[in-house]
Amino acid sequence: MTEPASSLAAARPEAGGGSPVDGESESLLCRWLATVLGAELDEASLERYRQGEAAPFLDYLRDAHGITDEVERLQEALSRLVMFTTPRLELAADFTELFLADARSGAPPYASLHAGDKQGFHGKAAERMEARLAAAGYAVRRDVAEPADHLAVMLDYLATRLQILAEAKAPDREGWRQDLEAFVEHELCSWLPRLVTRSAGVTTASDFYPALLALLEAYCRRLVEELRPA
């Protein structure tokens, strides 16, 4: 995949200086990704996806970030859902296979399990994430009952950082940007490729979630690049 540099350049806000990233939009995008990776789709959401209501996110990923193949793959997966008599259940079963069942198989969405330290859940990555959340004045909702290194938690956290970046005044902005860049690069990009590989090894009924993971991985890679000083 080649990156259409022009579109990226064109997407940059006119107000120069500081980060080229539109924090507010990216934040919303991350919240969407956190939602769709955080839990199974219910009937209503699924219907919205099938009606194409996710288009703004996908368009944005394609147009602003130049992610074309992965977006197409996800759209293809969405359009193929018509083949199932009970698409919600099939997607829920895929979600389970990948994310919820025995974490030795599938593509468990926890950074600790991909860190290679064999510690299982609540490993070092989770501790770092907890420290980040605590420092930022956040905690994982009790009813969610997931460790802090769950992918969706990390994306929600990323969304809050992007929002802060969007609202930051010039003198603080560089500090936020550096922190964000480090976070995406070391805490996400470090293991997302492995997660994508693992998901590819699982036979799912629909390609929806594997495609989504691939899209997320591409996005994070792109985001790091964009967060780097020009």
Partner 1 sequence: MTISRRSFLKGAMAGSAASLVGPGLLTSTAAAAAGVTEQGVWKTAGSHWGAMNALVKGGKVAEVKPFGADQYPTEMLNGIKGLIYNPSRIRYPMVRLEWLKNRHNGDRTTRGDNRFVRLTWDAALDLFHEELERVQTEYGPWALYAGATGWRQTGQMHSCGNHMQRAVAMHGHFVKKVGDYSTGAGQVILPYVLGSTEVYSQGTSWPLILENSKTVVLWGNDLYKNLQVGWNCETHESYAYLEQLKARVAEGSIRVISVDPVRTKTQKYLGCEQLYVNPMTDVAFMLGMAHTLYNEALYSQAFIDAYALGFDDFIAYVQGEAEDGVAKTPEWAAEICGVSAEDIRDFARLLAADRTQLLFGWAIQRQQHGEQPYWMGAVLATMLGQIGLPGGGISYGHHYSSIGVPSSGASAPGAFPRNVDAGKTPVHNNTDFQGAASTIPVARWIDCLLNPGDTIQYNGAEVTFPDVRMCVFSGCNPWHHHQDHNRMKQAFQRLETVVTVDYAWNATCRFSDLVLPACTQFERNDIDIYGTYSSRGVLAMHKLVDPLFHSRSDFDIFTDLCRRFGRDEEYRQGLDEMGWVKRLYDECREANKSFSPASGDGEASSPMPEFAEFWKEGYVDFGPGENWVRHADFRQAPEVNALGTPSGFIEVSSRKIARYGYDDCRAYPTWMEKAERSHGGPNSDRYPLWLQSVHPDKRLHSQMCESEELRATYAVQGREPIYMSPQDASERGIQGGDLVRVFNDRGQLLAGAVVSDDFPPGVVRIQEGAWYGPVGPEIGALDTYGDPNTLTLDVGSSRLAQAPSANTCIVEMERFEGEVPEVTAFGGPSVVEI
Name residues contacting partner 1, limited to 73-92 (CB under 8 A): 86, 89-90, 92
Least distance (Å) between residue 57 CB and partner 1: 6
Least distance (Å) between residue 134 CB and partner 1: 4
Angstrom distance (rounded) from CA 6 to CA 3? 9
- Give the one residue of 107, 153, 215, 224 binding partner 1; rule: CB under 8 A: 153
Angstrom distance (rounded) from CA 49 to CA 160? 25
- Give the one residue of 5, 43, 118, 170 binding partner 1; rule: CB under 8 A: 118
Could you tell me which of 5, 101, 88 has the C-alpha nearest to residue 42? 88
Measuring CA to CA, how many Å separate 120 from each of 4, 72, 132, 186, 190? 40, 34, 20, 19, 17
Angstrom distance (rounded) from CA 119 to CA 177? 31
Angstrom distance (rounded) from CA 34 to CA 74? 16
Task: Based on the shown chain and the rule CB under 8 A, indicate whether residue 164 belongs to the binding site for partner 1.
Answer: no
Q: Dig out the tokens for 194 from the structure.
A: 């492995």
Task: Based on the shown chain and the rule CB under 8 A, indicate whether residue 207 belongs to the binding site for partner 1.
Answer: no
Task: Based on the shown chain and the rule CB under 8 A, indicate whether residue 133 belongs to the binding site for partner 1.
Answer: yes
Name residues contacting partner 1, limited to 28-67 (CB under 8 A): 28, 31-32, 34-36, 38-40, 45, 48-49, 53-57, 59-60, 63-64
Q: Dig out the tokens for 13 from the structure.
A: 């806000």
Stretch that binds partner 1, among 67-75, 134-142, 174-182, 210-218 (CB under 8 A): 134-142
Could you tell me which of 27, 72, 82 has the C-alpha nearest to residue 211? 72
Sequential DSSP letters for 87-116: HHHHHHHHHIIIIIS-TTSS---BGGGGSS
Task: Based on the shown chain and the rule CB under 8 A, indicate whether residue 191 belongs to the binding site for partner 1.
Answer: no
For the packed helices 151-167 and 170-182, what is the interaxial angle rounded to 10 degrees? 160
- Give the one residue of 79, 119, 178, 197 binding partner 1; rule: CB under 8 A: 119
Least distance (Å) between residue 221 CB and partner 1: 19
Least distance (Å) between residue 189 CB and partner 1: 21
- Give the one residue of 25, 68, 75, 163 binding partner 1; rule: CB under 8 A: 25
Task: Based on the shown chain and the rule CB under 8 A, indicate whether residue 68 belongs to the binding site for partner 1.
Answer: no
Task: Based on the shown chain and the rule CB under 8 A, indicate whether residue 168 belongs to the binding site for partner 1.
Answer: no
